[in-house]
């Protein structure tokens, strides 16, 4: 993943992560961070840091943590 090598097998499976990263590159070129980790107890953890831009007329107030 770190080298952006294709994860697609010959039968076309396991392309979800690659597809998601390609879409992030289209939406937020050079303006996002994504990190993949293995959990100690099994499974995986994904952290994504995406830019927030309020839409004009958005009445919701958001705060940063």
Domain count, the chain: 1
Give per-residue pLDDT as tens, 13-56: 567 888 888 999 999 999 999 998 989 999 989 999 999 877 67
Count H helices and E strands in the chain, helices first: 1, 2
> What DSSP assignment string belongs to 28-42?
STT--EEEEEE-TTS
Instruction: List the beta bridge partners of residue 35.
Output: 47
> What is the chain's length?
65
Q: Extract the tokens encoding 30.
A: 């050079």
Distances (CA, A) of 59 to 51, 54, 64: 18, 9, 16
The domain in which residue 62 lies consists of: 1-65
pLDDT (0 to 100) of residue 53: 77
């Amino acid at each position: 993943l770190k080298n952006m090598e294709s994860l697609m097998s010959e039968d076309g499976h396991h392309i979800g992560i690659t597809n998601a990263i390609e879409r992030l590159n289209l939406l937020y070129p050079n303006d996002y961070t994504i990190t993949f980790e293995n959990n100690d107890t099994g499974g995986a953890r994904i952290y994504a840091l995406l830019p927030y831009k309020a839409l004009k007329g958005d009445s919701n107030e958001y705060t940063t943590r």
